[in-house]
Amino acid sequence: MQNKGAITLLAVALALVSLYQLFFTYKTNQVENAAKEFANGNPIKEKEYLDSVANQPVYNFLGLAKFTYKECKELELNLGLDLKGGMNVTMEVDVVDVVKSLANHSTDPAFNQAIEEAVKMRVSSPKDFVTLFGEAFEKIAPGAQLASPAIFGTHEMKEKIKVGATNKEVLDVIRKEADGAIDNTFNILRTRIDRFGVAQPNIRKADISGRIVIELPGIKEPQRVRELLQGTAALEFYETFDNAKGQDAGEDAFFNYLVAADQKLKEVLDAQASNVTNEETTTQVADTTKVQDKESAILDAIKGESDSLKTVTSMAEYEKEHPLLAILSPNMTQQGQPMGGSTIGYANIKDTAKINAYLRLPQVKAAFPRNARLLWEMKAVNGMVPLHAIKITTRNGKAPLEGDAVIDARQDYDQQGRPVVSMQMNGEGTKTWARLTKDNIGRCIAIVLDGMVASSPNVNDEIKGGSSQISGRFDVKEAGDLANILKSGKLPAPARIIADEVVGASLGQEAIQSGMWSFIIAFVLVLAYMLFFYSKNAGLAADIALLANLFFLFGILASIGAVLTLPGIAGIVLTMGMAVDANVLIYERIQEEIRAGKGLKLAIKEGYNNAYSAIIDGQLTTLLTGFILYYFGEGPIKGFATTLIIGILSSLFTAIFITRLILERAASKSDNVTFTTPLTANWLRNTKFPFLKKRKISYTISGIVIVLCFISLFTRGLDKGIDFVGGRTYTVTFAQDVQVGDVAEKLAGVYGSAPEVKTVGTANNVKITTKYRIAETGADVDANVDSLLYIGLQEILPAGTDYETFRNVHLQQTQKIGPAVAEDMTRAAVWSVLFALIGIFIYIMVRFSRWQYGAGAVVGLAHNTIIVIGAFSLFAGLLPFSLEVDQSFIAAVLTVVGYTINDTVVVFDRIREYRKLYPKRDDEQVVNDALNSTLRRTFSTSLSTIVVLLAIFIFGGASIKGFIFALLVGIIVGTYSSLFIATPISFDLTRRFKKKVEEKK
């Protein structure tokens, strides 16, 4: 093999990169285990421990770079919510509402009719809504102008849509505005999720326009999440207090109020320690001179000029004397003087909740001016969050200027080339902005979004005309973010939750354990199988390649930030089974060369060379399916496709190159390298089974099975999950076994009709599915449905179970899929299967230069797909596990399509080879010889994969049994169809086509 050095170098580099990436996961686990040991079962202490080490270096890479726990956490291998618990939310900004808002809710009949028509059209069209609206409007009102004042030519849009603009130009503006609304919503939601205090939150835009997917691991308050995410964004502009100086007559520097609050807090805590009631404490009035003396002492202590500082021998003593200032560092210069601006102090993120609790105390609150409001800044700097002093200047407590006054904002640059934000106000906002800036020259104005300070720029001059620039210490990205926030002050359309899923931590832990056990057992079985079938030499080489493949796979997943889910684990295990295929093909080819009388080194070389064609063709078709799966899939399907794609690529590298390096090295040292064992040497060798002569029997058998499948599909149908019909599901664990009929009857009383109830795994676990109020949106709707579930189940739950206990202990998982999402998933599933079949047909037709090969392969794949789908209809309710058709089922069908094509392609490859080697043999003999010569390989690959799947099926969790059942049926049927359906069909089509050509001659 040429370029051995380059391949070895690449393998070593991959190993080092994988080790480097996976070490982040090892370090975070090490720190988290230490936190658990320290907390001794107390979750609050565990969180405090992790917060305290968040910015501490825990990983020193070769002395070149140090990484904190927080940085390691961001770079570790991500686990999906199905493995660690949490909440997954899909939100949607409906472009329909955006378009209506931009037209100022026009009453124009043609406009509204076009909206209605476009809504109907988008159900079956992949085009974006704005394009569909334009087509509908042109059809309904030919020649009418969208730029007319009655539609989009409004006063608010006059700067963006010129008089006389064409419909195409208007649609371009509307499309840009709609995309901007989605971007702005995304930006607001991204700032909001930081409030939940979760590790590794994830927010991304979905492939479908207008949708945003949010993952929040470890969330225990789903209702709070729903309320915060669906709330309308509130952008406000406030005047501020100055930390270093008073602004009005009789007003003090805000630093002094902070010092007074610190002393008030000390008095409260001292009183509590002395068992003095809060009522007694609040009646005590401190002497003004004493307070001033204390303020001076504190200021001196902070400066380092007071004797009192010398007496502070420990942090504990300082915290006792200054409980607020010990955790809220005042905004001061190095010389100990208060700094100007609205920022009054900085606190570690972990201390913000404690400070909020202190500031809510009536005695502490009274130390600040009545019109003061203290707000945290959105962005933390090195783990420290600034606290700002906001001044309320209106009687109703509202901001003098709100976000609806901003009509445009963009990232720009000042004369020195520094990033700034340019902002434009509307007419009313221009007047208010001019007054605000005039009254606050030399002071700060706080820009507040959702109760947090986004920016607090200093006012240099009065700003007239409504155009202004905001400058600050931010980079280009931060300036762009602030511009988006300003544009998002009042969203044209609120984002609403159209799907969400909550997975309990205990269910996630169970999934990890069952998934890992199935993974380990399956992996051991594959390693043992290779040693058993191909001897210690070749088997050991294949096992080393499999281990390397697994190591590279996890390393790549960690390096690209992919999320490992339960279907992803199944994809990895399945990849291992498929990786065996390449080794089997190579080893069988090497054995053929050895039997042909060639020496060991030459046989290895020729064996690899002759196997490349079948390996590449087989793996590429599976890879094609993986890419289609990734493109059309969402959530678990995309996770499955990711691991499948990476696994195929890494298995190709390890099977083709690493095993060859090992075998060639072994062959150079000894000629005693074997590729079989005494038990497997002659297994399925030199078979002469007449496959083509039996094809009518196989056609009949398959025809009968397919007819039965269609009868079942038309009579019994499929047990469609909420992925395809919409609805809510709840997985509930009871203290005792329950009857599904009893559960359904209890819930019928609160939901109006009986929901569907199924047993999941054991008799005390049930899955409840209902469509009650599914078409309605809003956090209150979700809360109502959840609370009714609790009310309906109260009689079955243990006595005294309150709602919180029910949610945290008994409710293991919840999922909601809205009707629109269900329609999109159904459409994506159909398209993904269809495109997979078309793609495979085109590839095989081009690769083998005959359309008959492609047709035979597609007929075989259609045969497999129908039987797998039919099996889910035939056996639904008869087997002790769920055969619900959901996204994972579609992933299984597409995996069957991708995997079983391997067998067919290998046979086709051998037929093509035999036609060149034996041109005088008739077609029937060539096809039969090709099928028999690849029978050993077909059996070995299929058996190893079935063994893997059986291990997952037996030892995996209940939630994955339906998925694995589909794969098992598909692999067995696919192996049969490649031998008895796909190849005979291509043979019959080829012969019939050849006969027609001869007749024409």
pLDDT confidence of 636, banded at 50, 70, 90? low
Where along the chain do the CATH 1.20.1640.10 domains lie? 508-669, 693-718+822-1000
Output the DSSP codes for 453-514: EEE-PBP-S---TTEEEEE-S--HHHHHHHHHHHHTSS-SS--EEEEEEEE-HHHHHHHHHH
Across the range 338-350, mean pLDDT stands at 88
Return the pLDDT at 708: 95
Burial (CB count <10 Å: 0-12, 13-18, 19+), residue 679: exposed
Whole-model pTM: value is: 0.67
Backbone angles phi, psi at 732, to 5 degrees: -120, 135
Distance CA(849)–CA(843), nearest Å, equals 10
Fold adopted by 693-718+822-1000: Multidrug efflux transporter AcrB transmembrane fold (1.20.1640)
Cβ(449)–Cβ(422) below 8 Å: no
Report residue 358 as tokens: 């202190």
Cβ(358)–Cβ(283) below 8 Å: no
Return the pLDDT at 11: 86
Confidence check: pLDDT of 285 > 60: no
Return the pLDDT at 198: 56
Confidence check: pLDDT of 105 > 60: yes
Across the range 145-154, mean pLDDT stands at 87
Average pLDDT, the chain: 81
Across the range 382-402, mean pLDDT stands at 87
Taking residue 462's Cβ as centre, other Cβ atoms within 10 Å add up to 14
Taking each helix axis as running N to C, give the angle between helix 961-977 and helix 887-917, from 0 to 180 degrees, rounded to the nearest 10: 20
Across the range 915-933, mean pLDDT stands at 88
Confidence check: pLDDT of 791 > 60: yes
* Nearest CA-CA partner of 730 in 800, 801, 807, 796: 807
Distance CA(801)–CA(732), nearest Å, equals 14
Return the pLDDT at 389: 93
Confidence check: pLDDT of 608 > 60: yes
Backbone angles phi, psi at 885, to 5 degrees: -90, 110
Report residue 799 as tokens: 């006595």
Lowest-pLDDT range, 493-497, 809-813, 866-870? 493-497
CA distances for 936 relative to 217, 482, 537, 907, 968, angstroms: 47, 64, 19, 12, 20
Is 727-817 assigned to CATH 1.20.1530? Answer: no
Return the pLDDT at 220: 67
Backbone angles phi, psi at 794, to 5 degrees: -55, -40
Listed as own residue / partner, the contacts of 26-35 with beta carbons closer than 8 Å and 24 or more positions apart are 27/58, 27/59, 27/67, 27/69, 27/72, 28/69, 28/72, 28/73, 28/76, 30/58, 31/58, 31/69, 31/72
Across the range 281-291, mean pLDDT stands at 40
Place of tokens 């078409």: 775
**Which one-letter amino acid corresponds to residue 194?**
D
Mention every residue, 6+ apart, whose C-beta is less than 8 A from residue 673: 537, 538, 600, 663, 666, 667
Higher pLDDT, 971 or 380: 971
What's the distance, Cα to Cα, between the start and end of the chain in Å? 49
Confidence check: pLDDT of 302 > 50: no
Higher pLDDT, 181 or 142: 142
Burial (CB count <10 Å: 0-12, 13-18, 19+), residue 533: buried
Cβ(698)–Cβ(983) below 8 Å: no
* Nearest CA-CA partner of 114 in 135, 85, 95: 135
Where along the chain do the CATH 3.30.70 domains lie? 727-817
CATH architecture of 508-669: Up-down Bundle (1.20)
**Which one-letter amino acid corresponds to residue 525?**
L
pLDDT confidence of 345, banded at 50, 70, 90? very high
pLDDT in tens, 877-919: 888 787 888 777 877 787 788 777 878 888 888 888 888 888 8
Return the pLDDT at 391: 92
Listed as own residue / partner, the contacts of 838-843 with beta carbons closer than 8 Å and 24 or more positions apart are 839/624, 839/625, 839/628, 840/621, 840/624, 840/625, 840/897, 840/901, 843/620, 843/621, 843/624
pLDDT in tens, 429-486: 888 989 998 888 888 999 887 788 888 888 888 888 878 877 766 678 777 777 776 7
Rounded percentage of the chain residues whose pLDDT exceeds 70 = 87
Distance CA(864)–CA(978), nearest Å, equals 10
pLDDT in tens, 498-528: 777 777 655 556 666 666 777 788 788 888 8
Confidence check: pLDDT of 83 > 80: no
* Nearest CA-CA partner of 482 in 493, 473, 494: 473
Distance CA(496)–CA(485), nearest Å, equals 19
Backbone angles phi, psi at 407, to 5 degrees: -100, -15
